[in-house]
Amino acid sequence: MYSYIIIGAGLFGATFANLAHKAGKKVLVIERRNHIAGNCYTENIEGINVHKYGAHIFHTSNKIVWDFVNSFTPFNRYTNSPIAKSKGNYYNLPFNMNTFYQIWKTATPEEAKAKMEEQKADILKLLNGREPANLEEQALSIVGRDIFEILIKEYTEKQWGRNCNDLPASIIKRIPVRYTFDNNYFNDLYQGIPSNGYTELVTKMLEGIEIRLNTNFFDHRSELENIAEKIIYTGPIDEFFNFCHGALDYRSLRFETEILDTDNFQGNAVINYIDANIPYTRIIEHKHFEFGNQPKTIITREYPQKWELNKERYYPINDQENNALYEKYKALAGQKTNVIFGGRLAEYKYYDMDDVIEQAMILFHTCNQ
């Protein structure tokens, strides 16, 4: 018997497995893919750590989480400072004094704040004290019409495949706005990327633990459920219950990666492409995550696409209908005494990486009080 069989070798599963192993528990990790590390998996190509499932920048203000990940591998000092390209012009992100100057030519915080209040006046009058009902109203109430039209609307509709007024306001509630010339996207105390890639991080987290790759839990379900005291399930919650209430909806992605015979393609790790007529949302140049000086470079174009059952799930669509459906599955999950559900797919929730690790820590300590 195993103390825990953990379904999924991403950050949630790896964190729980590591803590359980250190506590002397017998652990087995099951992973349907041919590699560990989930969506933060990196593969070394041409001496460059390529983020195979999109850009992953680790950031947190939780020192316990930061010390935990740094105990396995050193992190570099990478600071996330993406650029947006709209109608042939380049803009700094997040929205800050550089962005405001690029759009309005405002030179001081006072000028920028006055312009922002002017931009927001119409929507605030329309809302008349009520909460924004959709993403468009939410964005307009935060940054006003110009920034919404130039940097948000087309990109968001391309990313989600829906009109902004058909998307929940929650998607954009935490959009950062700064009245400083600071291009650091995150406000967290700690930020960086594992110096040798995320795969090495997770490899070290899982040292000494039995792992079965290329193994679909559902193909071996009866066997696995009979040899575990507890199952930690990090997969899609609707699939666990055989989609009995229907499938939860997601947004998926397709990646197109290319090796280029040049040492520097775009001069930044991430550039967002706002315009609707450009089919991809961003280009990632992987070497810049690690300040690389290799003779070649590798880029990845990221194409949003409709999710179907044979595609990877990336972003949950947390609208009213899907959240209500999730609650039905959550109720079923609550009836399972030997299965614990955790992580973004099992909880139908978008998590940053530090939040995933923190939640796995909390779950482990809850299970082992």
Would you name the residues annotated as active-site residues? 174, 178, 251, 282, 302, 350, 352
Q: Report DSSP state, residue 247.
A: P
Cα 64 to chain centroid distance, Å, stands at 20
Query: Residue 360 is encoded by which pair of tokens?
Result: 């796995």
Q: Which residues contact 189 (CB under 8 A, 6 or more apart)?
A: 60, 61, 63, 66
Question: Pairing between strand 27-30 and 315-316?
Answer: unpaired
* Cα torsion 180, 185, 186, 189: sign: negative
For 24, how many CA atoms within 13 A lie in the half-sphere containing its CB? 1
d(CA 230, CA 357): 19
Rounded-to-integer distance, Cα 27 and Cα 4, Å = 5
- State how far the Cα of 126 lies from the Cα of 132, in Å rounded to an integer: 10
Q: Bridge-partner residues for 89, per DSSP?
A: 86
Handedness of CA 100, 101, 105, 109 (dihedral sign): positive
CA nearest 191: which of 10, 93, 62? 62
**How many separate helices (H) and strands (E) can be counted in the chain?**
11, 16
> What stretches of the chain show up as alpha helix (H) in DSSP?
11-22, 63-70, 97-104, 109-127, 135-147, 153-160, 198-205, 221-225, 237-240, 320-333, 353-367
The C-alpha atoms of residue 163 and residue 167 are separated, in whole angstroms, by 7
> Checking phi first, is residue 255 left (phi over 0); if not, alpha (psi -120 to 50) or beta?
beta
Q: Which two tokens stand for residue 41?
A: 């998996």
